[in-house]
Structure 1
Amino acid sequence: MQFIDLATQKDRIRGAVMARLESIVDRVQFIMGPEVAELESKLAAYAGTKHCLSCSSGTDALLIALMAKGIGPGDAVLTTPFTFVATAEVVSLTGATPVFVDIEPESFNIDPSLLEKGVEEARRKGLEPKALIPVDLFGLPADYRRLEPEARRLGLWILEDACQGFGGSQDGRMAGAFGQVGATSFFPAKPLGCWGDGGAIFTDDDELAELMVSVRVHGGGADKYSNVRIGVNGRLDSMQAAVLLEKLEIFPEELEMRDRVAAAYSSRLEGRVRVPSVPEGSRSAWAQYSVLARDGKDREQLMGALQKEGIPSVIYYKIPLHLQEAYAGLGYRTGDFPVTEDMASRVFSLPMHPYLKEEEIERVASVILA
């Protein structure tokens, strides 16, 4: 059984993708070809934003936004410790300091009620709190109903990390469209992934979009040899854009298929493990289907039983960021973020993709329920 089945999807779109790739090869226009502009236009329309800038990865999407906003030494950026390291890594790369805020146990996402505590911590450390990076973890948008007004009250601008959330929504707004700027990833395992690395940035802010265009390609000005600021080499290549254009065509259908898989899992597993919940008015993109065991020992037993039956499972995330060696210098200790630490000790993810068969879901469930 595959944890994520990219082969079935590849077979479905192979002909259309190969036709696009052959066209690119024939034109010999591998970087920033017309496929890139077409993709950006379609992604902006999908997300409901004025601008979309494609880029080389989800990490660069986050980094470009922070650089364009001038985040740097002495600044604090609030974010969650329960996420992939890239979310905090980009803050560190700018010279700013990540300040962690604990999560809600129901959603795995950052707790809006604790933002003020994070701002106070930043100021105690002599930092200026500037921004907030909520993460749409496992595909579920963070609670922007509460985050946006609270961030405004505290003087923070929001960079939405939708690297797992693209395709999700809340109250009719699509992931990527929250805050001042949103970022997503097209890593192959994402709900919408390419055949390599890729990402995108979304905003309605004209000035910010112009700045990010410059940062994306070496801080360019009037032409490629006029450099008006420090930037990165963050372009998306034409071939990845071609793949994404074909995947975007089937993306709405695949999201419905993911919904069905998640519902089938939940109906079978509820009561044995804590299954994920989706608040009313929200939709998850189901980047992962993550459950909670009773405790660490129970998780070990369940994952071991699955492994014996040839069923893969993965822990996202075993070590929270505040306890990672890379962030030892921030001075956090075990016990600082109790909800995060509890979730990290019990969480594990089951196979999730649009093409998971009913009999495969039943097989997974039978092992867990045994």
Structure 2
Amino acid sequence: MATYVWDYRREYENERADILDAVDTVFRSGRLILGESVRGFEEEFARYHGVRHCVGVDNGTNAVKLGLQALGVGPGDEVVTVSNTAAPTVLAIDAVGAVPVFVDVDPATYLMDPRQVEDAVTERTRCIVPVHLYGQMADLAALMETAGRHGLRILEDCAQAHGARREGRLAGTTGDAGAFSFYPTKVLGAYGDAGAVITSDGTAEGHLRRLRYYGMEDRYYVVRTPGHNARLDEVHAEILRRKLRRLDDYIAARRAVARRYAEGLGGTGLVLPETAPGNEHVFYVYVVRHPERDRILEALREHGFEFNISYPWPVHTMTGFAHLGYGTGDFPVTEAAAREIFSLPMYPSLPQGLQDKVIAVLREILARG
């Protein structure tokens, strides 16, 4: 059965010469680990964001984990976040020994509801991790006010928001640090796992560099624990350097796809994405909503379409997080969304003909009721 949610192959054909040259550049460099490609990407990604530092790591989960550790979050601390996210956000909090504390989300944008964060703060709270979900940013102005009142750190989870802005500021540049994933499907994606943390905090940057490299500053000498083997690979870094130059083009293409969906699916009964005031959406995914989601997905399968749900199970309902003590009914907005949302195909090289077919099939299914 065909799956059309994401496909990199058309983009690869368009960029093949540059991607292969990136690989060849690394292989001919004589340095395969933490060489010029990693340094170059870190400098260029930091410059793109207007921050002082970028530290490349091996994946987005470790970007959150090491970001938390670099900000001083550890065992017994509480970290306020959302259940409407990919599980790795919460796994990273758990991995540093901290306790995830969930709040519900805004029903229109599915982003962290800042009004609930204040009530979630206790004397053990150390950090807030807002998730910039689906391609737009949480309300950082409100969250910064809460963090300031309580002396909390903010680590932005930017895995789905490369290049997104709120009130003119890029994702990852308002809080103490921003964690990014470059998983292949992302707005800026590598050809495998990769990640990074950006910050203007020099102390946090130093911790990050040690954390990703066994706790070492010099080879073979550990100066601080914990330490990890969490280095960004040279090949992925060089590919990301090339693709970073095209990031704004990728975003423009995604927005064009989103506009065609909005034009083609308006008035059908689908709840289409809503951009929060002040946000510049980059449409990592195009999430729609309908109370008869499962019927619609089954009808789509009959037409050869298999679409994704981001996300079908709120984290607090998963058995792997039962130890946190939450249960069904605790976060009704998140749970209602999980029953009704699904994602339409969204990537820069999505053929317009395929998108037109998706729109036509959806309109037919929705018209049948």
TM-score bin, normalised by smaller chain: over 0.9
Task: Give the distance between the partners of 2:276 and 2:324, measured in 1 at CA.
Answer: 34
Task: Give the distance between the partners of 1:38 and 1:241, measured in 2 at CA.
Answer: 8
Retained in 2: the 8 A contact 1:77–1:129?
yes
Residue 302 of structure 1 is matched in structure 2 by 296
Task: Give the distance between the partners of 2:260 and 2:126, measured in 1 at CA.
Answer: 42
Retained in 2: the 8 A contact 1:49–1:204?
yes
Pairing of 1:66-145 with structure 2 (within 5 A): 66-120=68-122, 128-145=124-141
Task: Give the distance between the partners of 1:221 and 1:355, measured in 2 at CA.
Answer: 42
Pairing of 1:110-259 with structure 2 (within 5 A): 110-120=112-122, 128-259=124-255
Task: Give the distance between the partners of 2:20 and 2:244, measured in 1 at CA.
Answer: 15
> Percent sequence identity over matched residues?
35
Give the unaligned 5+ runs of structure 1: none
Residue 41 of structure 1 is matched in structure 2 by 43
Q: Which moved more, 1:51-60 or 1:1-10?
A: 1-10
Q: Which moved more, 1:18-27 or 1:32-41?
A: 18-27
Residue 311 of structure 1 is matched in structure 2 by 305
| Matched position secondary structure for 2:40 | helix
Task: Give the distance between the partners of 1:203 and 1:327, measured in 2 at CA.
Answer: 30
Count of aligned residue pairs for this structure pair: 361
Retained in 1: the 8 A contact 2:4–2:307?
no
| Matched position secondary structure for 1:221 | strand
Task: Give the distance between the partners of 2:218 and 2:191, measured in 1 at CA.
Answer: 32
Q: TM-score, normalised by structure 2?
A: 0.95
Residue 367 of structure 2 is matched in structure 1 by none
| Matched position secondary structure for 1:291 | strand
| Matched position secondary structure for 1:306 | helix
Retained in 2: the 8 A contact 1:13–1:246?
no
| Matched position secondary structure for 1:77 | strand
Shift of 1:359: 2.5
Shift of 1:304: 1.5
Retained in 1: the 8 A contact 2:35–2:234?
yes
CA deviation string 1:277-306 (max 9, x = no partner): 11233112211100111x2xx101211222
Task: Give the distance between the partners of 1:33 and 1:206, measured in 2 at CA.
Answer: 21
Residue 324 of structure 1 is matched in structure 2 by 318
CA RMSD of aligned residues (A): 1.4
Q: Which moved more, 1:342-351 or 1:247-256?
A: 247-256
Shift of 1:222: 4.1
Retained in 2: the 8 A contact 1:312–1:350?
no
| Matched position secondary structure for 1:139 | coil
Amino acid at match of 1:116: E
Amino acid at match of 1:5: D
Amino acid at match of 1:119: V
Amino acid at match of 2:271: R
Task: Give the distance between the partners of 1:200 and 1:252, measured in 2 at CA.
Answer: 19
Residue 276 of structure 2 is matched in structure 1 by 279
Q: TM-score, normalised by structure 1?
A: 0.94
C-alpha spacing 1:154/1:269, structure 2 compared with 1 (3 Å)? farther
Amino acid at match of 1:313: F
Give the unaligned 5+ runs of structure 2: 365-369
| Matched position secondary structure for 1:268 | helix
Retained in 1: the 8 A contact 2:180–2:195?
yes
Q: Which moved more, 1:86-95 or 1:19-28?
A: 19-28
Shift of 1:8: 1.2
CA deviation string 1:98-154 (max 9, x = no partner): 00010001111110000012115xx5xxxx011000001111111112221122223
Q: Which moved more, 1:13-22 or 1:334-343?
A: 13-22
Shift of 1:213: 0.9
Residue 368 of structure 1 is matched in structure 2 by 362
Shift of 1:28: 3.2
Retained in 1: the 8 A contact 2:5–2:343?
no
Task: Give the distance between the partners of 2:223 and 2:163, measured in 1 at CA.
Answer: 35
Shift of 1:20: 2.3
Shift of 1:328: 0.6
